Each structure stands twice: as structure tokens, then as C-alpha cells.
């Protein structure tokens, strides 16, 4: 072989080696990165190449898949009663991605979850099984009551209902809402619909139930009472407190009054203070319990941590490094304290469940395409927040408040109900901002167990209602009552 041929052969061999090396590198090193690249249309074609599994509520699918003629993305998602269930399903869009259960369980629903493969042959051949189903814990009657309760009054707000015994989420509504089917495809019109939703000042895409936190106002007095009783600050809920009304905020010239006449709250017992939502008693209880013990109790109920159900929630916050006036203000749910509606539902549920808080969960089980269960949720405790004795004392106060106090709007004939309404001031100038309205409650069965606890949050900023009519008892109690009734009628 002459010199020229030898050099040519070596050069071509080097090129072949480089080509093989590059192919090998792409196949074994870059493959995963390229596969996950959002600009890789093959992913979209695969994801929307066939019908998906469904999200199930009350034994019926609330999602579906329909063919898209003339598109390489062969199917797109459909939603039944989309706006009512959007806080649960989220959306699956060919152009906008996926959120909530559609996002968290996309592998199950698309059929790519390895647990769905029928056997070794499927794994070997790369055949993708049909998608599995995600069966939720939602009670359709409770969800309807929550959603229709909010929309009937034109409210921006949220409702969360839990089963205190298990942590099952029975309802999760957020308004204003949106129809995920309106932008499930990739047409220009659907893209414009999504853009309008994102620009809407009322934030319909926001899940107010779990992703937004607000000052909880007087509903937090439930937790203040629990902390004060648990740590011995208060030992008898019927004994006069000796706390004056209005209340002189420590290290300040400010005096905090009450919605009811101050004379009605002056030196009131904690039970009476809960009944009429007297600020003075709870401000003093928080101050004397102390910031560390107040925060410790709040964290045992779930504050200062995200929840995963399996969707991630925002953390509710009981702040650190509060001074004495700020600590006192947390006693009435004000200051820099914030809570999601889910968190306040957990507080009510923990009290109703004898002091044990259960981890909230939204998915009951995951079924394969053959309906066999491949994953089943088991109730798990978040932890014991307070003793059973303390919980019973707080129940006594909440039930008295529902019978003869500010929560009478939630009473259900023949049913023991415990409840607490609240309003929460917010904004840089509280005189200009309309307060938030809250309501939390639970209902008991004949055996004393509680199958449902509810938190209702309403932002009345744009509602056609006078400021004097804004209150958790007026706005939230009818919704909470309807949700509790819906669960009780199902025999939960």
C-alpha cells in the first residue's frame, strides 16, 4: 500500500471512530438530556399519541381524551365540569404543560410508569401500556357544595374539607376558576385563552386552597386556645380571665378592642371569649404562652412546612423572632402570621380528631389499565398536636360557639357542630382594605367521631356587599354547613 492510500485509510478510520464515539456518547450519555428537552417534539408526539388514563371522582372519570384530526399530536385532554375540579386535576395542555394531579401523575396517566408494564416482554420491546387511573379522595357532593357555595355569592375564595380521621381531602374548591379544556390543545385560539387567564387580575389559575396564604384572623384563636391549654397558661376555660377590654398591647400605647361591646369581653373566661371572639383574652393568652411555645404548637398542626398530598402546597407561616406586641397579635391571627385554607382545615380536623393531625392526601389509589390497584394510600398521622384532654376542651368551646355564639349559622339539627368564624385585617392600610372572611368547622357523628372538617376563605374585595356585612359567620357559615351536610348525607 502506497503512502497516500495509507494516509487516506487512517483518516477515514479516524472519521469512522469519531462517528462511532459520538453516536455512543449520544446514546449513553446525552440520551436522557435530549429526551427531556422541552423542544424535543418527539416527547409531545409520544405524550399525546394515544388516549390517557383518567382522574376519577366518586367512581366516575372527570377527564377524557379525544382525537385531534390532522395533527401529529393525535389526542388532547377533555374535562367534565372542568372549572369545579380544576384545583384538583390541574391542566394538561399540548402547549402549556401540566399541573396538579395531571402533572404529578403524568407517568401513570400516560402509561409510561414502569409499574404498568405487563411483563418482561413489554419492557424489552418498549411497548407502552395503556395509561392507569388516578382515583381521588374527593366526595363529589361535597365538592359541588363547596364550589357552588363560592360561585353563588361571586366570591374570590377557597374551601377545603378533610376527613379528620384519615386526612382524606373530601373537597378542594378555588374561585374564580377556569376550564382546563379551553386550552388543552395547541391552536392559536387556545394559546390566547391561556394568556388571558394568566393576565386576569382575579388570578383564576391560582389555587387559593393550597398555594396562597393569608392572615387567618380569629379562626386562629382555636390554635391559641389549644396552645394556652396545652402549656398551662390557661387551666380552666370557665374561670374569669381578669383580662381587660380593650386590651393594652404590651410595649405600646395601642389598645385593641372587640367587635362586640368591650363590656361583653371584659375579664371574660376563655369559653366566653371564644363564643364572642373576644380579642383581649386571646392576645393575652398568646403573650403569656410565649412565642416559642406558640410556634411549637403551630408547627405540630403543620405550620412552617410544605405538605405533599402528593401535590405540593405552600407553607403556612408562624414567624420567628417576634417581639411581645407581635406575639400577642398572633393570638388573634393577625400580625405577620399567614395560613392556607388547607392549613386551617388541618387545625380544625386535628381538634376534632382528639388532638392528632392526619396527613392530608388527595389520591386514594392508582389503578392499572386492568383496574388492578398498583398503589393504595394509607392514613398516616402528621403527629399529635395537643393532648386529647386539650382537644376536648377546645371542642367544648367551639361547640358552644356554634350553639350560642358567633358561629350559629353552621348549626345542623341533630348534629353536633363545632365552629369558629373570623375576619382578618390585611394590607398596608387596614382601613382601606376590606377584611378577609374565614370560617372553620367540624361535624360529629353519634359516636363522637368527626367525618368532616371544613375551612372556608373569602376575599370580599370586589363583592357587592357592605363592609359591615363582611364576616366569616355571614359569608362562610352557609358554605361550611352545606359541605358538612353533603358529607354527612353520604354516611361517611
Q: How far does CA 88 lie from the centroid of its chain?
A: 9
Residues 243, 436: Cα–Cα separation, whole Å:
27
Residue 55 lies in a domain: no
Residues 243, 266: Cα–Cα separation, whole Å:
6
Residue 418 lies in a domain: yes
Of the listed 174, 177, 218, 450, which one is catalytic? Answer: 218
Structure confidence by residue, pLDDT tens digits, 31-89: 556 555 555 667 777 778 789 999 999 999 999 999 998 888 889 999 999 999 999 99
Q: Could you confirm whether 93 is annotated as catalytic?
A: no
Residue 74 lies in a domain: no
With bands split at pLDDT 50, 70 and 90, how would you rate the model's confidence at 429?
Answer: low
- 213 in Cβ contact with 203 (< 8 Å): no
Residues 39, 439: Cα–Cα separation, whole Å:
46
Residue 197 lies in a domain: no
Give the global pTM: 0.89
Residue 404 lies in a domain: yes
Residues 221, 286: Cα–Cα separation, whole Å:
9
Full residue range of the structural domain in which residue 334 is found: 217-363+379-489
Residue 353 lies in a domain: yes
CA distances to 103, 217, 318, 386 from 472, rounded to whole Å, are 34, 10, 22, 26
The pLDDT assigned to 6 comes to 73
Question: For residue 129, is pLDDT > 90?
Answer: no
What is the rounded (10 degree) CA torsion for 20, 24, 26, 32?
Answer: 170
Q: What is the CATH number of the domain that holds 409?
A: 3.40.710.10
Structure confidence by residue, pLDDT tens digits, 161-203: 999 999 999 999 999 999 999 999 999 999 999 999 999 999 9
Phi-psi region of 404 (alpha: psi -120 to 50; beta: other; left: phi over 0): alpha
- Any residues with CB less than 8 A from the CB of 474 and at least 6 apart, and which? 409, 437
Q: Which three cell numbers stand for residue 22?
A: 459520538
Number of domains in the chain: 1
Residues 223, 345: Cα–Cα separation, whole Å:
12
Residue 373 lies in a domain: no
Residue 308 lies in a domain: yes
Amino acid at each position: 500500500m502506497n503512502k497516500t492510500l495509507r494516509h487516506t485509510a487512517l483518516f477515514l478510520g479516524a472519521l469512522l471512530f469519531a462517528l462511532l464515539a459520538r453516536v455512543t456518547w449520544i446514546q449513553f450519555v446525552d440520551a436522557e438530556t435530549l429526551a427531556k428537552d422541552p423542544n424535543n417534539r418527539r416527547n409531545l408526539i409520544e405524550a399525546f399519541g394515544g388516549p390517557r388514563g383518567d382522574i376519577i371522582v366518586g367512581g366516575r372519570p372527570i377527564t377524557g381524551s379525544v382525537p385531534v384530526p390532522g395533527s401529529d399530536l393525535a389526542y388532547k385532554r377533555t374535562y367534565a365540569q372542568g372549572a369545579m375540579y380544576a384545583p384538583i386535576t390541574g391542566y394538561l395542555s399540548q402547549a402549556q404543560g401540566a399541573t396538579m394531579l395531571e402533572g404529578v401523575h403524568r407517568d401513570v396517566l400516560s402509561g409510561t410508569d414502569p409499574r404498568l408494564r405487563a411483563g418482561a416482554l413489554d419492557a424489552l420491546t418498549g411497548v407502552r401500556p395503556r395509561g392507569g387511573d388516578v382515583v381521588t379522595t374527593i366526595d363529589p357532593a361535597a365538592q359541588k357544595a363547596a364550589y357552588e357555595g363560592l360561585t353563588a355569592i361571586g366570591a374570590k375564595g377557597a374551601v377545603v374539607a378533610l376527613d379528620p380521621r384519615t386526612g382524606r381531602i373530601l373537597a378542594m374548591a378555588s374561585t374564580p376558576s377556569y376550564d382546563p379544556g379551553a386550552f388543552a390543545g395547541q391552536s392559536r385560539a387556545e394559546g390566547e385563552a391561556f394568556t388571558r387567564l394568566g393576565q386576569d387580575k382575579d388570578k383564576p389559575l391560582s389555587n387559593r386552597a393550597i398555594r396562597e396564604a393569608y392572615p387567618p384572623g380569629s379562626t386562629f384563636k382555636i390554635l391559641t386556645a389549644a396552645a394556652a391549654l396545652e402549656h398551662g397558661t390557661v387551666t380552666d376555660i370557665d374561670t374569669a380571665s381578669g383580662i381587660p377590654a380593650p386590651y393594652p398591647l404590651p410595649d405600646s400605647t395601642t389598645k385593641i378592642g372587640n367587635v362586640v361591646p368591650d363590656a361583653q369581653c371584659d375579664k371574660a373566661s376563655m369559653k366566653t371569649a371564644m363564643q364572642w371572639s373576644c380579642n383581649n383574652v386571646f392576645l393575652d393568652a398568646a403573650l403569656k404562652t410565649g412565642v416559642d411555645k406558640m410556634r411549637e404548637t403551630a408547627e405540630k398542626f403543620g405550620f412552617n412546612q410544605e405538605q405533599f398530598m402528593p401535590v405540593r402546597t405552600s407553607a403556612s407561616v408562624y414567624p420567628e423572632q417576634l417581639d411581645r406586641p407581635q406575639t400577642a397579635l398572633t393570638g388573634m391571627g393577625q400580625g405577620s402570621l399567614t395560613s392556607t385554607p388547607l392549613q386551617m382545615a388541618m387545625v380544625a380536623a386535628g381538634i376534632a380528631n382528639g388532638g392528632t393531625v392526619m396527613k392530608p392526601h388527595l389520591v386514594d389509589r392508582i389503578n392499572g389499565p386492568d383496574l388492578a390497584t398498583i398503589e393504595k394510600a394509607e392514613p398516616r398521622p402528621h403527629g399529635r398536636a395537643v393532648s386529647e384532654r386539650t382537644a376536648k376542651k377546645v371542642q367544648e368551646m367551639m361547640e358552644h360557639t356554634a350553639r350560642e355564639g358567633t358561629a350559629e349559622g353552621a348549626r345542623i339539627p341533630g348534629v353536633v357542630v363545632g365552629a369558629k368564624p373570623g375576619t382578618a385585617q390585611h394590607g398596608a392600610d387596614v382601613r382601606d382594605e376590606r377584611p378577609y372572611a374565614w370560617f372553620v368547622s367540624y361535624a360529629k357523628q353519634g359516636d363522637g367521631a368527626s367525618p368532616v372538617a371544613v375551612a372556608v376563605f373569602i376575599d370580599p374585595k370586589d363583592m357587592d356587599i357592605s363592609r359591615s356585612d363582611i364576616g366569616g359567620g355571614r359569608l362562610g357559615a352557609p358554605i361550611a354547613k352545606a359541605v358538612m351536610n353533603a358529607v354527612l348525607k353520604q354516611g361517611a
